[in-house]
Structure 1
């Protein structure tokens, strides 16, 4: 499955970024071979003036993401993610990207079912 994780860096030992719409990067990888398929892309929504959560969520659909791992999703981002049938899971910022992937594979992550606080216009 194609996984996306919000992150502040380009290394599997980096931490998950709690911010979804404003995170600097996304890690994209295949769940069966995260080390061999890790691909880091800049978040095109991070520098926008507004609607970052919506734009990042639309980017997930464009990238054909099948699972999203992040800290939290604002109300608008959650609505777009749910409309795209992309299951989203939450982790703490103290978890590395590889730890988050392993925790998801083991069924230890909590599915995001409620929106977190909206951070409209924050960077």
Structure 2
């Protein structure tokens, strides 16, 4: 499955970023072989003045993400993610990307069913 994770750095030893719309990067990888398939991309929504969560969620759909791992999702981002049928899971910002992938595979991450607070342009 194609996984996306919000992160502040490039490398599977970097940490999950809990800011979905304003994270600096996303890592995209195959759940079966994250090490050799990891692809780090700049978050195109990072520099926008508003609607970062929506823009990042639309980017997930465009990238054909099948599973999203992040800290939390604001109400608008969650609406777009749900509309794209992408299950989203919450991971702690003290987890590395590798740890988050393993936790998801082992069923230890909680699926996001309720929106967190909207950040309204906060970085």
TM-score, structure 1 normalization: 0.99
| 1:33 matches 2:33 | yes
TM-score, structure 2 normalization: 0.99
Q: Distance in 2 between matches of 1:56 and 1:67?
A: 14
**TM superposition outliers: structure 1 runs of 4+ over 2 Å:** none
When the two chains are superposed, the root-mean-square deviation of aligned CA atoms in Å is: 0.3
Q: Deviations over 1:49-79 (max 9, x none)?
A: 0000000000000000000000000000000
Q: Aligned residue for 1:89?
A: 89
Q: Distance in 1 between matches of 2:66 and 2:95?
A: 20
